[in-house]
Amino acid sequence: MLNWRVADTQPLQEEGVRFLCRHADKLGVPYNWSTIVHSLYAAMRDDGLLLAMDGAGNVRGAIACALGTGEDNYADRGRMEVHLLYLDENVRSGREPVGAIAALVERELEWPRLLEAIGFYAAPEERLRNLFGKIADLDHTREHRCGPLDFYWTTTARLRAFVGCAK
């Protein structure tokens, strides 16, 4: 079972970034690298870089989230955007993906103020729409610098209910 924790020290942040660099071509996000790097920067600013550690202390997954969403150019900090969620290929089976959502919910609940909504972008693919449709509502699809992207909204309550049902 992976142990999720906030990367709140320089050594942990370094480990997390190096892990993502080594898996850069497999992250499955539709953005270019400068956007990923900016996302990690924003996540660190908001204590939103979460790392999944295995029993040997190695990073096996990461979540980057930060206050504000791209929908209003990050003005409303009562909302949160999940920029990236990545698990090492060999920890994607079993309960680890649900564990990642649970870690995200736990982090959201620790935020100083209640989050109104959680948004995220994804490539406009049917497979992803089926997957993310379990935890969020597709709001719209728009053209961005990196191409067309779907945008989803969800809530902490909905994610928590999903984690509860999956237990």
**Residue 83 beta carbon to another protein: minimum distance, rounded to whole angstroms:** 13
Q: Which is nearer to another protein, 17 or 159 (CB)?
A: 17
Q: Which stretch binds another protein (CB under 8 A): 28-36, 65-73, 104-112, 159-167?
A: 28-36
Q: Which stretch of DSSP H or E encloses residue 22?
A: helix 10-22
Q: Note whether 33 binds another protein by CB under 8 A.
A: yes
Closest CA to 164 of 88, 106, 79, 90: 106
Cα dihedral 32/44/64/48 (nearest 10): -160
Residue 53, exposed/middle/buried by CB under 10 A (0-12, 13-18, 19+)? Answer: middle
Q: Compute the distance between CA of residue 24 and CA of residue 76 in angstroms, rounded to an integer.
A: 29
Q: Compute the distance between CA of residue 139 and CA of residue 134 in angstroms, rounded to an integer.
A: 14
Closest CA to 63 of 78, 53, 76, 75: 53
Q: Which is nearer to another protein, 64 or 122 (CB)?
A: 64
Q: Note whether 137 binds another protein by CB under 8 A.
A: no
Among 21, 109, 146, 161, binds another protein (CB under 8 A): 21
**Residue 23 beta carbon to another protein: minimum distance, rounded to whole angstroms:** 9
Joined tokens for residue 64: 């980057």
**Residue 124 beta carbon to another protein: minimum distance, rounded to whole angstroms:** 20
Q: Note whether 146 binds another protein by CB under 8 A.
A: no
Q: Per-residue x/- mask for another protein, residues 34 to 73, rule CB under 8 A?
A: x--xx-xx--xx----------------------------
